[in-house]
Amino acid sequence: SYAQFNDSLVARFNRGDFRGVEAFGSAALKQLEPAGSLARQLASLQPQTGRITGTQVLGGRGRSHEFDWQGEKQHLRVVLVSSAPGVLDDYFISDFVAQPRAQAAPLPTDNPGRSALDQAVQRAATLYFQHPGAVGLSLAVAWRGRQYFYNYGAVARGGALPTAATYYNPGSIAKTFVTTLLAQAVADHKVQLTDDIRRYLPGAYPNLEYQGRPVRLVDLANHTSGLPTSAPIYPKALGDSLRHLDVASQVAYYNHYSADSLLRDAHRWQLGTQPGTTYRYNGNAMKLLQLIMERVYQQPYEQLLARYYGAAPYRLAGTKRVLTAAEQARFATGYADNGQPVLFPTYTGYWGGPNLNSTPADLLRYARVQLAERAPAVRLAHQRTWGAAPGFGLGLGWMLNTDADGDRLVYHNGHAPGFNARCVLYPGQDLALVLLVNDNISQSRLDDFTRLLKQELPQAAVAAGPAK
């Protein structure tokens, strides 16, 4: 049974046999992450939880089986995605579960608490704010043709409540802006997804192929290019000297990493796998795709954002990479893992990859256009290019899966210094959720927040309150 399978995992966790837990991983899990990833995560969690002294079944839906691992110091929500007991196809682990010593402090919010939807959001937010590192949270919901905004906590410790106009950095959700631009370039007959990327690069790059197979545009967009995944690596002496500079000086240095710098480094890249075969999340690939889109449209990234996303059907007037002074005043303060405030850097070069700043209101507009799937570019961006349905896969940038209820979801997460974000679309349920927080506690807590809220929405359907 799954209860017995869970018990065997707990026993291995308690005796420190983290590789023994990972050994239950299926071929599907091995495609999703490098070997050792689960073992390292469990090893980092054990000092926080202590010994697991008991477990409780939280529920089971389809292939997902949820358990509360009750530790001496902390509880964990553990979701086992499994096709059969003893087989681990995927997993989700977070502290998004009732904690034994959580403080029930008053939580600032604009949630009116009247409707079933309001109350479902409140339950999820209460779980989220059990963690002392949580500061502020904004949730934007589009559901059945209406939209709702909920805000909690503060834009900075001791500060005001966030609003739908508060600026956050949504991290890698920005990558979907670049990949949707690629889909638009296909719709505009400027490129084809199967084009060799070297067609759009200046000079010769014989290194950007593997055993005669070139890297294609689609391989950049779905993280299967085989390119090195890391940002530029600086010599240790240089890195040490940069750490002694203030943040503004560090950013100024990194912003010198230009398109020419990226192209120069690309001459030295070596492919680790055959393009189009192996998924490995890849920031370098997205930076190169951004550069190619600039060359295809003969416009810099900022102008492409304004041209394509500032116009219909998106009309994102406030979404941009560089903010004005007035817009910076509306920017939430991000907080690092250690709880210290982070001065968020504005990268304008290619060191940090595709990035932008936006608000809950703008990101919900973006999500609603994506949810509707009316635009040809959006439909193309949501088509599978890697991975077999109904399991995990990739469109163009967007991640695709089927949840425990059998419902199709299209999503992307985001992480930046001081911020985490999640945008998830359920086209079959006419539901979009955009969740933004100004902390770096854990991305999985946002995943659990949206998963729990979606599960409770059918019960909230009858009594949903007025749109806000």
Three-state DSSP state, 99:
coil
| pLDDT classification of 103: cutoffs 50, 70, 90 | low
For 129, which DSSP code?
T
d(CA 187, CA 184): 5
Distance between CA 121 and CA 186 in Å, rounded? 39
In this prediction, residue 467 carries a pLDDT of 54
Tokens of 331: 């920017």
Domains of the chain: 2-94 (3.10.450), 171-453 (3.40.710.10)
C-alpha span between 151 and 361 (Å, rounded)? 12
Given this model, what pLDDT does residue 468 score?
A: 55
Q: Which of 188, 169, 375 is nearest to 296 (CA)?
A: 188
Signed CA dihedral, 335, 341, 346, 351: sign only: negative
Cβ burial, residue 396 (10 Å; 0-12/13-18/19+): buried
CB burial string 432-458: b at 16+ within 10 A, e below: bbbbbbbbbbbbbbbbbbbbbbbbbbe
Question: How far is the C-alpha of 419 from the C-alpha of 432, rounded, in Å?
Answer: 20
Task: Give the tokens for residue 77.
Answer: 């929500």
CA 443 to chain CA mean position, Å: 7
Structure tokens at 393: 């896969």
pLDDT surpassing 70 at residue 461: no
Of 149, 60, 121, the C-alpha closest to 454 is 121
Over residues 176-231, the pLDDT tens digits come to 999 999 999 999 999 999 999 999 999 999 999 999 999 999 999 999 999 998 76
pTM, two decimals, is 0.89
120 vs 455: CA distance, rounded Å: 10
* Cα separation, 468 vs 149, whole angstroms: 6
Tokens standing for 6? 């869970």
Residue range 18-35, pLDDT digits in tens: 999 999 999 989 988 889
Band of pLDDT at residue 459, cut at 50, 70 and 90 = low
C-alpha span between 306 and 320 (Å, rounded):
8
Which alpha helices (H) appear in 109-201, and where do they start and end?
Answer: 116-128, 174-187
Percentages of the chain per state (helix, strand, coil), in multiples of 5: 35, 20, 45
Average pLDDT score, the chain: 93
